[in-house]
Amino acid sequence: MRKKRSLTEAIALVDANNFYASCEQSINPHLRNKPVVILSNNDGCIIARSPEARALKIKMGIPYFKVKERLNRLGVAVLSSNYSLYGDMSKRLMNLLKDYSEEIEIYSIDEAFVSVSRPENKNLHPWARKLRSLIYQNLGITLTIGIGENKVRAKIANNLAKNIDTSAGIFDLVRIENENNYLRGIPVHKVWGIGKQTSNWLQSKGIKNAEELRDMDENEIIRKLGIIGKRLQLELKGNKCLPIEKIKKQKKEIQISRSFGKPITKLEDLTQALAIYAIKASAKMRSQKLKSSAITVFARTSHYSTHSYQKSAYKKLINATDNTNTILKIVIALSKEIYNPEYKLSKAGVLMQDLTNNQYLQHSIINYESQENLKRSINLMTTIDSLNKKFNNKAITWAITKRSQEWAMKRNSLSFTSTTDIKKIPNIMT
């Protein structure tokens, strides 16, 4: 039997349960304790389910049209994705987690790794219970908390917390007896960092679960997976190899793309769609203090179309920029290069590439811009962003977005409640 480690610092993976559905139930009391499903873009497939919907054995990923009648019969609430709501609730969640942990790494919209020191008795269950209670009281969202010595074991503990009914949503992999029995129940493909090809290779070697992966010959792992495999095995053994990443790695590119609610056949519709995506991408760059040195736009037909078409256009910039006006001119010009009137386009997007930090910008002597013009540009974009943040994300926008958008993404079942639009905040009836 392996010797237990007595560590003062622990890593916990905090995961919000059924996040999209929970956000909707939290802000709309009429949905609480009722089956709820959330649909993907254009109301295509089911991408989230409340516990009540899971109990009805409604499958994830199934196309909505196939189960629409069944959902109606069962009284299931069907909602379109409300990304502004989910994004805002995620920010609130992460801000609360920061107050109750020493370090935090935001892993996804509903997950975060946090580090926390163990008390003298090494028992973190009181901390975890208090955190779950705090989040539920403030946001109406239930958490699952997995605790271990490192990220890999915290991820395993989180998996166990979700699947063991008696855990009450909390599982500490350090403070248990018969650890091997639990690791034996984790299939190797469920271990964090193990992809499909690696899983197939491991199973071909007879490695079927987390315990066998931990105990397999380390030289064989290194020969196949290199240092990454070695780190993974060390973490399974309880060593800490992967630190909490407090500073996000700089993105290499930002992409905004959408499938259209109805196919596009007109150039002006394609131009408008790409312009709207460019405006969003520009604002996103500025929020992350980035500038782009290259821009790509693309459009394609549906994968199911009998007449397939796909084309992209690229522009390398002399000076990196985050100015929406500059980017819009480029995107509108590129849209003409990819448009083809003979095809019905179902999806398009923009990519901001070769991103650089705006604090370390190299100016060009070929296309030099005065400091005065640069300052004016920065002030304009800063003002627009601050007003949109203060009021709503469309307080100030560009005229091209105001024309009718018949191609817009279908969201026929979008909830009428929000935390980011004062007009949609629920009223409290007295």
pLDDT tens, per residue, the chain with 430 residues: 344 444 578 999 999 999 999 999 998 888 999 999 999 988 889 999 999 999 999 999 999 999 999 999 999 999 999 988 999 999 999 999 999 999 999 999 999 999 999 998 999 999 999 999 999 999 999 999 999 999 999 999 999 999 998 899 999 999 888 899 999 999 999 999 898 999 999 999 999 999 999 999 999 999 998 999 999 999 999 999 988 887 777 778 999 998 898 899 999 999 999 999 999 999 999 999 999 999 999 999 988 888 899 999 999 998 899 999 999 999 999 999 999 999 999 999 999 999 988 776 665 555 556 677 778 888 989 998 888 887 766 778 888 888 788 787 777 777 766 676 666 666 666 5
> The domain spanning residue 306 has which CATH number?
3.30.1490.100
- 48 and 130 in a single domain? The answer is yes
Q: How many domains does the chain have?
A: 3
- 202 and 342 in a single domain? The answer is no
- 116 and 82 in a single domain? The answer is yes
Domain ranges, residue 208: 180-249
- 99 and 226 in a single domain? The answer is no
408 within domain boundaries: no
Structure pTM?
Answer: 0.80
- 259 and 340 in a single domain? The answer is yes
234 within domain boundaries: yes
Per-residue b or e along 105-138, where b marks 16 or more CB atoms closer than 10 Å to that residue's CB: bbeebbbbbbbbebeeeeebeebbeebbeebeee
Alpha carbons 210 and 183: distance in angstroms, whole number:
5
296 within domain boundaries: yes
Boundary of a domain, candidates 225, 249, 273? 249
Reduce the DSSP state of residue 67 to 3 states and report it: helix
What per-residue confidence (pLDDT) applies to 361? 60
What per-residue confidence (pLDDT) applies to 9? 87
